[in-house]
């Protein structure tokens, strides 16, 4: 450990949830108590749907108890079967959601600049069994929605976007939830906007939303009619109430994160071997969900894993999202598409990416110190 830096007294994590003033949350809970309505699509739920439609600039939204259930339901509602092309560089939930639907994941390699599925490699993976593409807007950076839609139209495939990280992302001023047949947002505590646990689906077609709304409520239309096989995917009133209180704090958190991003970016700007993951030019609003760097061991002199491990001795806990790749999990590694030769970029990238502490509570001095410690490792 370099003696010029003392470890932080309190642990610094990759993220911390935004916590609005407790009095405001308690006031909201009092309202809910008064109403004696705790779940099953109550007032808070419909108000949050209304507010999020506006915030995300979408026409159709359905709230869920978490993002994973939302994704499982979207895959089923869109009738995906057989094989679906997806990315190995993601959280287990993405690929697991296919498995839960009895659909075989087919892994496609990623592009090194935005870490999203490489659209130029999708067509080569399409077979007569392919029914869809499940792409991820990794770390909030949009996938190539135009090329993906072109391929989907050509082969009559459905497109689902895992937008777990992309809350607020806009492409040429259009909300990211407007692309493909459905997009899933996660409102987990670690997300910029959260409801402790929670999620949402957005759709281009209101008929799909109607089906999903039935599906997330056991398939119940009314007391006498149960129309399809459903599940319990409902967001409850306490989750929705928390979300409504939190919405007022989003812009403030975004402004803070923007300032922190600028500090990190300047610090690393001329450090050879540290590349900051940048947004594309057509992204008019970024999600500011994570601050991500790629470490080139040859140029920096130390590996990503060295940095990750060494930072712990300073009480700094970064994350190696998404290492290991989903394609290297024991239950997926034997798939043909999981071979290292099919996924050479992803297998390299998984050893380079590091998510640094990034949340509004951190101040300039702390970001300066974290950056300086990392830079001090350089040889």
Binding site for ligand T4K (CB under 6 A): 13-17, 66-68, 90-91, 93-94, 136, 162, 164-165, 186, 188-190, 199, 317, 319, 321
CB nearer to ligand T4K: pick between 273 and 288 = 288
CB nearer to ligand T4K: pick between 42 and 199 = 199
**Smallest separation (angstroms) from ligand T4K to the CB of 342:** 21
CB nearer to ligand T4K: pick between 15 and 327 = 15
CB nearer to ligand T4K: pick between 68 and 213 = 68
**Smallest separation (angstroms) from ligand T4K to the CB of 64:** 8
CB nearer to ligand T4K: pick between 186 and 371 = 186
**Smallest separation (angstroms) from ligand T4K to the CB of 367:** 17
CB nearer to ligand T4K: pick between 273 and 357 = 357
CB nearer to ligand T4K: pick between 91 and 300 = 91
Dist. CA 184–CA 71, nearest whole Å: 6
* Residue among 17, 20, 15, 30 at smallest CA distance from 242: 20
**Smallest separation (angstroms) from ligand T4K to the CB of 18:** 10
Which residue's Cβ has the minimum distance to ligand T4K?
67
Alpha carbon 278 to its chain centroid, in Å, reads 16
**Smallest separation (angstroms) from ligand T4K to the CB of 359:** 8
Tokens of 304: 């990503």
Return the residue matching tokens 């500090």.
Answer: 263
Helix (H) or strand (E) holding 293: strand 291-295
Return the residue matching tokens 């499940």.
Answer: 134
**Smallest separation (angstroms) from ligand T4K to the CB of 360:** 13
Helix (H) or strand (E) holding 274: strand 274-276
Tokens of 124: 């080569």
- CA dist 314 → 9, 173, 177, 274, 278 (Å): 9, 40, 39, 20, 27
Length of the chain: 379
* Residue among 329, 290, 284, 281 at smallest CA distance from 138: 290
CB nearer to ligand T4K: pick between 126 and 189 = 189
Return the residue matching tokens 């003696």.
Answer: 3
* Residue among 79, 76, 50 at smallest CA distance from 62: 50
**Smallest separation (angstroms) from ligand T4K to the CB of 100:** 12
Dist. CA 245–CA 264, nearest whole Å: 30
**Smallest separation (angstroms) from ligand T4K to the CB of 301:** 27
CB nearer to ligand T4K: pick between 233 and 273 = 233
Dist. CA 286–CA 140, nearest whole Å: 7
Q: In this structure, how many other beta carbons lie within 10 angstroms of the beta carbon of residue 158?
A: 20
**Smallest separation (angstroms) from ligand T4K to the CB of 128:** 28
Residues near 41 by beta carbon (within 8 Å), at least 6 away in sequence: 217, 234
């Amino acid at each position: 450990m370099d003696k010029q830096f003392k470890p932080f007294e309190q642990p610094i994590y990759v993220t911390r949830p935004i916590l609005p003033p407790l009095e405001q949350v308690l006031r909201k809970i009092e309202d809910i108590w008064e109403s004696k309505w705790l779940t099953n699509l109550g007032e808070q739920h419909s108000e949050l749907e209304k507010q999020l439609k506006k915030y995300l600039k979408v026409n159709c939204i359905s709230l869920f108890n978490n993002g994973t259930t939302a994704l499982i339901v979207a895959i089923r509602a869109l009738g995906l079967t057989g094989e679906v092309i997806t990315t190995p560089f993601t959280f287990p939930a993405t690929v697991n959601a296919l498995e839960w639907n009895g659909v075989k994941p087919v892994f496609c390699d990623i592009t090194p600049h935005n870490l999203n599925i490489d659209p130029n490699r999708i067509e080569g993976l399409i077979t007569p069994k392919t029914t869809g593409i499940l792409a991820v807007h990794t770390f909030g950076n949009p996938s190539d929605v135009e090329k993906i839609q072109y391929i989907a139209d050509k082969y009559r495939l459905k497109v689902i976007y895992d937008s777990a990280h992309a809350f607020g992302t806009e492409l040429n001023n259009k909300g990211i939830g407007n692309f493909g047949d459905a997009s899933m947002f996660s409102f987990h505590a670690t997300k910029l906007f959260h409801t402790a646990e929670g999620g949402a689906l957005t759709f281009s077609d209101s008929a799909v939303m109607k089906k999903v709304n039935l599906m997330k409520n056991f398939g119940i239309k009314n007391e006498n009619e149960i129309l399809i096989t459903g599940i319990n995917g409902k967001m409850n009133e306490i989750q929705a109430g928390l979300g409504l209180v939190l919405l007022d704090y989003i812009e403030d958190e975004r402004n803070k994160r923007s300032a922190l991003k600028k500090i990190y970016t300047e610090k690393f700007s001329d450090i050879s071997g540290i590349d900051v993951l940048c947004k594309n030019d057509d992204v008019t609003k970024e999600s500011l969900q994570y601050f991500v760097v790629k470490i080139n061991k040859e140029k920096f002199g130390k590996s990503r894993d060295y940095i990750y491990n060494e930072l712990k001795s300073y009480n700094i806990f970064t994350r190696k999202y998404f290492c290991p790749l989903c394609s290297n999990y024991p239950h997926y590694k034997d798939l043909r598409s999981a071979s290292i030769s099919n996924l050479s970029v992803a297998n390299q990238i998984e050893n380079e990416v590091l998510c640094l502490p990034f949340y509004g509570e951190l101040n300039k001095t702390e970001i300066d110190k974290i950056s300086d410690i990392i830079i001090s490792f350089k040889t």
